[in-house]
Structure 1
Amino acid sequence: MGGAASVLGPAPLAVDAQVLESVYPSIEDAVADRLQMRLGLPGRWLAPLLYWQLPLRLGVSPSALRPIEAIARVRCPLLVMAGSTDQHTTMAEAQRPYAAAPQPKSLWVVEGAAHQDLYHYAPDDYRAPVLALLASLPPP
């Protein structure tokens, strides 16, 4: 949830660039996916029973956990990364926050990667888009 947390704060981070890995569009999508993975299609129907508890148990509304809405406030170059076989944050879901983000932005899909540390999965390939992002920044 680090990528999601970096865009969900009350104000955009004061950073020169951001790299986000496997960011879900909303907590509703994330909960439904995980339940469907474990329980099949009925898991999707049970998802509301979990996320309606967020205000009661954690004091946060599901509407506050929607990176797809918060990402529009990002004011720096953005690199969104996703694993092509990620079942937790599917490609369709990873593309939704990317589409909602303002320019400049880029999307890097790691072929064969699931929901994992993408750097450890493909360290040599990982460096290229990150270094390209950093090279695009003006000098300090």
Structure 2
Amino acid sequence: MRTGKKVCIWIASIVGVLVVILFAAGMYFFHVAEVRAPKSFINSTPMAKSNPAYAYRESFSKLKKQTWYQTTPGGLKLDAWYVPAAKTTNKTAVIAHGFDGNKEKMAEYGEMFHRLGYNVLIPDDRAAGASQGNLIGYGWTDRKDYVRWINQVIQKNGDSNIIMFGVSMGGATTMMTSGEKLPSNVKAFIEDCGYDNVYNETAYQAGELYNLPGFPLVNIVSAISKVRAGYSYFEASSVKQLHKNKRPMFFIHGAKDDFVPTKMVYKNYAATKGPKELWIVKGAKHAKSFETNPAVYQAKVATFLAKYDK
């Protein structure tokens, strides 16, 4: 009996230690994944002048910008740039940035839509740029912020045709927003290299960056996120939101994307219920499709919008 009791105590002790270790690891990786702080695994090297997108970024930086704000139901003050089109128009592009990004890093896309004759609104998501907040929303908490940005465009500009565009996490934000109740002013969506859901993306990155399996660590981080940020990684799903979308969607993904695997775009594309187009950009890595050939990228976007934003 004593031997059996000792074995039970020993097993309970081992289990207890493992639980403590897993929880500590979960807290560490939650901080890496969601807490506002510099991310060492994200390339923050300034864009080189030789980059094909550099001229777009420089042109946009010289445009006069208005600063718009919104306050979330939780009391966070969010910041955005608004740039009116060169000629008066009712068309506005709302642009969502990526993980560890901000409105400045979306300048080349802002310039692209400016050249296409659109007003441009580029928000800083919560926990990014000049916006308040400490927890990154992966598009899930952000999707309702973008609904409010869209409504603000209508309130300020009146009759509006609105399209939404995003890259990487911004692409996922765009897809997640598409499943919300939106005004009829929203005509179409364009997403570039967004993930299918947060769990799959973080599990993939656990393997790529740390050589760790998704289970059980990402599940623990997801549970911590549910308590701290209000959402689990399973519910934060582009695919589930796309099932509710009936508006046109243009899907763009680099053929050589090894950060958000290219295979994810096929799940996203299959999920949406509206008119859809897919462009796999040969040779392009993650979020590099525009840089591969800005003129072709802009032409593809223009062709899509000519069909659906009339």
Band the TM-score falls in, shorter-chain normalisation? 0.7 to 0.9
Q: Distance in 2 between matches of 1:52 and 1:75?
A: 31
Q: What is residue 31 of structure 1 aligned with on the other side?
A: 202
Aligned-pair identity (%): 23
Give the number of the structure whose residues are more often helix, by fraction.
1
The runs of 5 or more residues in structure 1 that have no matched partner are: none
1:48 Cα offset (Å):
1.8
TM-superposition CA deviations, 1:101-135 (whole Å, max 9, x none): 12310111111112124323321221232112112
Matched position secondary structure for 1:85? coil
Q: Distance in 1 between matches of 2:170 and 2:226?
A: 21
Please identify, of 27-36 and 124-133, the stretch whose mean Cα deviation from structure 2 is larger: 124-133
Q: 2:291 is matched by which residue type in structure 1? A: H
What's the Cα RMSD here? 1.9
Matched length: 138
Q: What is residue 171 of structure 2 aligned with on the other side?
A: 3
Q: Distance in 2 between matches of 1:11 and 1:62?
A: 22
Q: What is residue 269 of structure 2 aligned with on the other side?
A: 98
Q: 2:296 is matched by which residue type in structure 1? A: D
Q: What is residue 61 of structure 1 aligned with on the other side?
A: 232
TM-superposition CA deviations, 1:56-86 (whole Å, max 9, x none): 1211233431000101222321100111111
Q: Distance in 1 between matches of 2:258 and 2:245?
A: 26
Q: What is residue 260 of structure 2 aligned with on the other side?
A: 89
Asked if 1 retains the 8 angstrom alpha-carbon contact of 2:188 and 2:309, the reply is: no
The runs of 5 or more residues in structure 2 that have no matched partner are: 1-168
Matched position secondary structure for 1:64? coil
TM-superposition CA deviations, 1:28-68 (whole Å, max 9, x none): 1010111111123x333332232222111211233431000
In terms of Rg, which structure is larger?
Answer: 2
Q: Which has the higher contact order (CA 8 A, sep 6+)?
A: 1
1:27 Cα offset (Å):
0.8
Give the alignment's TM-score, normalised by structure 2: 0.41
Return the match for 2:213 from 31, 34, 43. 43
